Amino acid sequence: MLGAPEPEWAGTEMASTIEIDAMQRALSLATRAEAPTHPNPRVGAVVLDAAGSIVGEGFHRGAGTPHAEIEALRDAGPSASGATVVVSLEPCNHSGRTEPCTASLLQAGVSRVVFAQTDPNPVAAGGAEVLRGAGLSVEGGVLSERARELNPIWTLAMQRQRPFVTWKVAATVDGRVAASDGSSRWITGSSARAEVHALRAQVDAVVVGTGTVLEDDPQLTARDAEGQPIERQPLRVVVGHRSIPASAKVNDDSAETLHLPSHEPTEVLEELFARDVHHTLLEGGPTLAAAFVSAGAVDRVVGYTAPALLGDGASLLGPIGVASISDAVRFAFDDVSLVDGDLRWSGRLSDVPLFTEGAR
């Protein structure tokens, strides 16, 4: 077995049935974080005494507040000494918005730590090794798949160190996004448009090119069924070198706007990630979409196809360097449905897992 990769669950001692049950509890506590924890993950923790009874529980309530382990240790009080902490994410090993959980676990005299997901955040990772090094019994990978499903967007963003990108397209059956006179309002029906507002409400940023702003003058806010802006607005991002008039609707005060004088998707995503953007909705025109697709920077595509034909006019995607059918960018549809009269479909362009709408 020399040289064999260490399995993710390798530790000092396999998790017991009681610990697995406690992990189920930790996972359900994590979902209690009703308020969005963004940009932090949803995490839950449980403290078990030597007899296997729960003596403390906690979950993370949002950036800047104590991590789940700390909440659970506080809840357990002196009972934490000699106890086992069961947590849905590997304890962090960094001083960020809060102190490292490794230090608090050691200070509390915990003797064993069981965690689910290995921390994909390079800044905070390494906690398991530190705890092992300090003599604790540590077991990882327990129900890790379920823990990842709690924070799929966060996990992907941390692994890639860039935001997850959902590309939204709305076009006719012949793939046109505008008629030959440039008119593009409205291709799809109002229900499809309402869904796009719901999509905007789920993401951290909406990205378009200067061309879209100059031609369509969109406001790019997330609005409810009554057309009123919702409370948490995504950052509006305009990319490209052309200047935008101060009177453009993206410059109104309904949400924050960032103009990035770049066409380079990698650069744009880097800039957004640095601003804690973990999920971006790409709503740009054919040129910007082509740049993102060519760069392999689209993870998921959500399409609305209207039962209409134009025969001419801009198509939804500009050239992506494909000359032959054998070079087509192919992907798998993962969903299709009717939204009033329009067709809604989605597919994954990168190797990402399936997850439910609204996942963080």
- Which spans of this chain sit near ligand AOF (rule: CB under 6 A)? 40-41, 43, 60, 63, 67-69, 89, 92, 96-98, 101, 119, 121, 124
Residue 253 phi/psi, 5-degree rounding, is -95, 20
234, 205 contact by CB (below 8 A): yes
281, 234 contact by CB (below 8 A): yes
Q: Which is nearer to ligand AOF, 120 or 209 (CB)?
A: 120
144, 116 contact by CB (below 8 A): yes
Which residue sits closest to ligand AOF, CB atoms considered? 96
- CA 105, CA 81: separation in Å to the nearest integer? 9
Residues β-bridged to residue 338 = 343
Write each residue from 93 to 132 as x if it is in contact with Zn ion (CB under 5 A), else as -, in one continuous string: --------x-------------------------------
Q: Candidates 55-63, 92-100, 182-190, 284-292: pick the segment binding Zn ion (CB under 5 A).
A: 92-100
- CA 311, CA 39: separation in Å to the nearest integer? 44
Min CB(48)–ligand AOF separation in Å: 18
Min CB(185)–ligand AOF separation in Å: 41
Min CB(197)–ligand AOF separation in Å: 28
Partner interacting with residue 43 (select from Zn ion, ligand AOF, none; CB below 5-8 Å by kind): ligand AOF
Omega into 9 within 30° of 0, i.e. cis?
no
Residues β-bridged to residue 279 = 164
Is residue 195 flagged as an active site residue?
no
Write each residue from 54 to 83 as x if it is in contact with Zn ion (CB under 5 A), else as -, in one continuous string: -------------x----------------
Partner interacting with residue 40 (select from ligand AOF, Zn ion, none; CB below 5-8 Å by kind): ligand AOF
C-alpha distance from residue 105 to each of 66, 78, 102, 206, 216 (Å): 13, 12, 5, 40, 55
Q: Which is nearer to ligand AOF, 67 or 148 (CB)?
A: 67
Hey, what are 338's tokens? 């009717």
Min CB(88)–Zn ion separation in Å: 12
Question: Residue 266 is which amino acid?
Answer: T
C-alpha distance from residue 319 to each of 83, 180, 287, 292, 331 (Å): 60, 18, 8, 11, 17
Q: Which of 69, 90, 139, 195 is catalytic?
A: 69
Hey, what are 44's tokens? 């839950």
Q: Which is nearer to ligand AOF, 38 or 259 (CB)?
A: 38
Binding site for Zn ion (CB under 5 A): 67, 92, 101
As annotated, the active-site residues are 69
